[in-house]
Amino acid sequence: MQNISPEILTSIQRALDEDIRTGDVTTNSIVSEDATMRGQIIAKQSGIIAGLDVAEACFSLVDVRVAFASQIEEGARVQDRQLLATIEGPARALLTGERTALNFLGRMSGIATLTRQFVDAVAGTKAVILDTRKTAPGLRAADKLAVLRGGGQNHRIGLYDMILIKDNHIDFAGGMEEAVRLAKESGNGIQIEVEARSVQDVKIALGLGIERILLDNMSNEMMKEAVKLTNGKAKLEASGNVTLETVRQIAETGVDYISSGALTHSAKVFDVSLQWIK
């Protein structure tokens, strides 16, 4: 578990506590303490796998004697019925940790699979696919790790690692100029990104020396105009209702980044199962 971040380990422990509480009463009443089992984790669809190491950590936190052996690399493309991992150890631990482990593996692989579809859709352009903060509460680290393993990149992890001045901040401050002034005077030296709702907003942001601009819900024509106006002086990020059907056209406007909350809030859980070997 040495490569699993503390944030993800905390999420795993919380999930195990939620499921097990005072004990797995079904397993503990039927399965003897000294019984052992072997099993295989199998893909039940094609796609991208992420989270085998997280699944392993789930079992290890239940019982360190569980032996987990991944059969593929993280981020690999797999086919239906493909073997993903083998597992062996105390039967009680395997049965108790099974659901939590598969929950993490299925969610992370679903996110990675959808992310790879977005990445493939913009292949040949310069656009980079980004995630957002629209993650499951308490699972952000795992969700964003899955995006990375699907070939995307992470935007800011939380509210603490980038200043993103959005429309509500601008309206509260009374304008973009004042919002940017206050952010710069905070003195924390963190990168500033400003949301632009119009091409005029882009012009204002450029005049303020902003080096990263979020184009919020702009039409493709507006984004092309923003790219031409910016001419490389700032990085442009397209955001708002991005789908697999629209992402290619957005990328072809010339923007640098495309962020989509769908990567983490709308990914379908990847179907995996744990089959026991007698």
Residues classed as catalytic: 99, 134, 166, 195, 216
List the beta bridge partners of residue 192: 163
Rounded to the nearest 10 degrees, the angle between the axes of helix 91-121 and helix 6-20 is 130
Residues counted in the chain: 278
The CA distance from 65 to 59, in Å, is 9
| 79's tokens | 């086919």
Neighbours of 126 (CB within 10 A): 10
Q: What tokens does 256 get?
A: 């640098």
Q: Distance of CA 11 to CAs 142, 163, 263, Å? A: 8, 26, 20
Q: Are 33 and 122 spatial neighbours (Cβ–Cβ below 8 Å)?
A: no
Residue type at 40 in one-letter notation: Q
| Cα angle 90, 94, 95; round to 5 | 115
| Residues 217/240, Cβ–Cβ less than 8 Å | yes
CB 202 within 8 A of CB 230: yes
